[in-house]
Amino acid sequence: MQEYEQKGIRMIDTVPRNGAHGTKIVFGSSQINEPSFARTLYGSVRARRYMDREKRLAQLKAGRAEALLGGGERRIISQHKKGKLTARERVKLLVDPDSFEEFDMFVTHRCTDFDMQDQKFLSDGVVTGCGTIDGRLVYVYAQDFTIFGGSLSKTVSEKICKIMDMAMKMGAPLIGLNDSGGARIQEGVDSLAGYADIFYKNVMASGVVPQISAIVGPCAGGAVYSPAITDFIIMNKKNSYMFVTGPKVVKTVTHEDVTIEMLGGAMVHAQKSGVSQFVTETEEETYSLIRNLMQYIPNNNLEEPPIVACADPIDRVCENLNTIVPEDPTKPYDVVAIIKSIVDNGKFMEVARYFAPNIVVGFAHLNGHSLGIVANQPEYLAGCLDINASKKGARFIRFCDAFNIPLLFLEDVPGFLPGVTQEHGGIIKEGAKILYAIAEATVPRITVIIRKAYGGAYCVYNSRHVGADLVYAWPSAEIAVMGPKGAVEIIFRKEAEKAGNTEEYLKDIEDEYRKMFATPFQAASKGYIDDIFEPSETRRRLIRAMEMIASKKDSNPPKKHGNIPL
């Protein structure tokens, strides 16, 4: 009897209504009546089974409660003091209420070196499962910094790989919330093997399901390569950083003094390296941004992007566009203002805003349909294509093509950026990336030439000659091998020298050249442009055009893969 009392089980003699003696067995707050013919507690099969069931339920509840605490209350408090949320708090903010189904809550590591067998926590450093965002299935993993600093063990890797496999099987997006100190050193090569397993799954999932990475804490060493393979990286300004080698290693090897923020902070990767596509001020904003991004992208490469309700009139006239482009072709304007005038409700989700600002890329809706937009920005470098702009544009175009998102190009490009730095940096190879990405894209593609379309940049930038489905132009469009000033200086150089007053002579010739060649009408006369229309009609014309080419069926020649100039 004493043995069971120690386990919280009490036995009390009772006299039931029929007068027979019985025994009441009390399990905590639960109780049953057992008849007196049970000679002993061990002899009662029903009692033993009931006790086993109650014990197991109690174990389950206790285990879940323990798992929900992660590394314990002290570490949770420490996490909050740093301004960071716990893994499960993050998941709760990301997915729809009560939609998250957690997997492998009771998993623990298998390491026995360095007394690790005495340091085990349920879930072992990562929370994995599935949930919904606006009713759409997504798979999520969130590294738990309260357990061994979120370090990666073999079991953590197995948990992540498991949901990556599930995401591909079910055709659902994969979202990773990264907050980890790196490899679990105690596990040695097992930890490295775990990283490699994840990298391989990332590559296999690329172009099959969208992959989104949020960096909400440290992400260093080999761990950075998993987010780098994914489609989008969001970094939080306050607590996130990414680098292959930290400040101490940099100091030892290169003798450079650098802080964590200077080496791998959110704005460094948003502005300089281009590693991060989005930057947020708070964690809450991070998860709101991911939910917003999901409005534009499909679940997988076999589905179309979601269609949203559109209250913005299809035939809305954009009068402001008739005067937005300055008459002086050397003066800039903001192409984002044009984009917001055209798209539904003026909502434009810009991607990689801080990197290569001379090209603008992002998502919008047009009559409720998702659309990828690529536009030159005359406010920066006159909209020239340079190395970074080419890489930024190419990556975005390839994502849209992989996931069936139609593309709209707004063109005002005077050419590729000249200079020794660009040439030595490989503008030939890097510039070819955007050409390659555009030419191989099989999604519907439309170009609107707003102003300049000069030289090789005209060819590259979704011209009819590289497979554009429709090419339109505004009356302000200038399509030529080069700008009028440069053209007349080459063509009429000898005549200008004979005339004596070179500048005045060339100015008159330039005006004539501009009238004859720097217009869209010559290209239209050759069939290179499908139509020229008033800027105010752009929204209506684009919606009709997209409806017309929405059923496009196209494919590239059979091959293992192309050899893009990387």
Per the residue annotation, which of 22, 171, 207, 222 is the catalytic one?
Answer: 222
222 carries an active-site annotation: yes
pLDDT digits (tens, 9 = 90+) for 298-352: 999 999 999 999 999 999 999 999 999 998 888 999 999 999 999 999 999 999 9
Per the residue annotation, which of 246, 455, 456, 486 is the catalytic one?
Answer: 456
Contact in structure between 492 and 511 (CB atoms under 8 Å):
no
What is d(CA 329, CA 327) in angstroms, rounded to the nearest whole number? 6
Question: Sign of dihedral through CA atoms 358, 364, 366, 369?
Answer: positive
457 carries an active-site annotation: yes
Taking Cα atoms as reference points, which of 416, 507, 509 lies closest to residue 455? 416
The verdict on pTM exceeding 0.95 is: no
Domains of the chain listed by start with CATH number: 2-66 (no CATH), 69-293 (3.90.226.10), 319-481+519-549 (3.90.226.10), 484-517 (no CATH)
User: What pLDDT score was predicted for residue 515?
Assistant: 77
DSSP 530: S
pLDDT digits (tens, 9 = 90+) for 512-556: 787 777 789 989 999 999 999 999 999 999 999 999 999 999 999
Q: What percent of the chain has pLDDT over 70?
A: 90
What is d(CA 47, CA 40) in angstroms, rounded to the nearest whole number? 10
Helix/strand/coil for 294: coil
What is d(CA 504, CA 516) in angstroms, rounded to the nearest whole number? 19
Taking Cα atoms as reference points, which of 242, 241, 263, 264 lies closest to residue 254? 263
Position 425 pLDDT exceeds 50: yes
Question: Sign of dihedral through CA atoms 492, 495, 500, 504?
Answer: negative
Contact in structure between 344 and 367 (CB atoms under 8 Å):
yes
What is d(CA 545, CA 536) in angstroms, rounded to the nearest whole number? 16
- Residue whose entry in the numeric block shows the structure tokens 């919606």: 543
User: What pLDDT score was predicted for residue 504?
Assistant: 73
pLDDT digits (tens, 9 = 90+) for 161-191: 999 999 999 999 999 999 998 889 899 999 9
What is d(CA 485, CA 501) in angstroms, rounded to the nearest whole number? 16
Taking Cα atoms as reference points, which of 220, 252, 32 lies closest to residue 143? 220
129 carries an active-site annotation: no
Per the residue annotation, which of 221, 264, 431, 483 is the catalytic one?
Answer: 221
265 carries an active-site annotation: no
Torsion of CA 395, 383, 277, 279, to 10 degrees: 180
What is d(CA 227, CA 209) in angstroms, rounded to the nearest whole number? 14
DSSP 399: H
Vertex 350 angle, CA 440 and 356, to 5°: 70
Mean pLDDT, residues 81-98 taken together: 96
Per the residue annotation, which of 214, 441, 457, 468 is the catalytic one?
Answer: 457
